[in-house]
Amino acid sequence: MTYLSYFACMLEEWTAVEYLKKYFFHMVIISVTISAILVFFIVPLTILFFIYLTNVLLIIYQRNGEVKADPLSDVWDSARKTVASFWDIYARIWHGYELHGVENLPEGPGIVVYYHGAIPIDYLYFLSRLFLWKKRLCLSVADHFVFRLPGLKLLLEVTGVMPGTREECLSALKNGHLVSISPGGVREALFSDESYQLMWGNRKGFAQVALDAKVPIIPMYTQNVREGYRMFKERRFFRQLYETTRLPFTPPYGGLPVKFRTYIGEPIPYDPNITTDELVEKTKTAVQALIKKHQTIPGSIWKALLDRFDKHCKSD
């Protein structure tokens, strides 16, 4: 064996070339799997990171300015504008976000009822743009588990997120606020799919509050929200786990830059002669009508991506 051949053999052994050849296929499979996992979950995790970062920035603003005012007061408006501007830029870049039908929102109080996607990021976009356009805060009813999340207390208070008891909602409406709620809530987020089926169950509290407060209900829906972020197909175990604990153990995935368009429908005016059940059905019909008008069913990720290049809104 020549010195050159001997050196080549030693180099192969040192660099583990033979080892790599033997296990190359396995390494490719592992690399592809890890890459797929990162692609599926990196955007939802990024959103979560930005949400916590927003809360940290609000804490810094509070301490530096020694702000002790009520989180819902106008003192926080400059901070709200900064936060809203950040999320609006994110919405424009990542989802080409559009908001239609703002003129359907009443000048006074009202209840906004919307379809709940796997991740309600579209709703966050709506809140941000509404504040930037109208300098108006829409208070949000959230599931109880949201308030168990650590480190978000100030953000929830400043953006007007509340557990949504009957008394809280009536008080907010009495003070002239818009109040929003998704009757499907977490169940709809977890177990609805690209068919965009509403999963309201027997939820009718929002309708009773609307009647008690004598305010209109405004339906709202975001096009392609299920194509942007999805849940894994329902499994009986996860469904039973949620029904038992009321905690969302199923992680969302996706985050593709599909087109998002939020449509605000015509308000359902207060009618003293309507029952709670009838108002629930009218509201459900109005939300379903928005879905039917603006959404391809079943939803298509490819079409939702191509919508980014479509300058015209479907049936707008």
Interacting residues of 270 by C-beta distance below 8 A, sequence separation 6+: 210, 211, 214, 215, 216
**Burial classification of residue 309, based on how many CB atoms lie within 10 Å of its CB (0-12 exposed, 13-18 middle, 19 or more buried):** exposed
In this structure, which long-range contacts are made by residues 48-55, counting pairs with CB atoms below 8 Å and at least 24 apart in sequence?
50/86, 50/90, 51/152, 51/155, 52/151, 52/152, 54/83, 54/86, 54/155, 55/151, 55/152, 55/153, 55/154, 55/155
Nearest to 201 by CA among 216, 210, 191: 191
Find out whether 74 and 135 touch, Cβ atoms under 8 Å. no
- Fill in the amino acid letter for 239: R
Q: Is the Cβ–Cβ distance between 184 and 197 less than 8 Å?
A: no
**Annotated catalytic residue within 26, 95, 100, 116:** 116
End-to-end C-alpha distance for the chain, whole angstroms: 79
Query: Is 116 designated active site?
Result: yes
Q: Which pair of structure tokens corresponds to residue 252?
A: 């969302």
**Which positions are catalytic?**
116
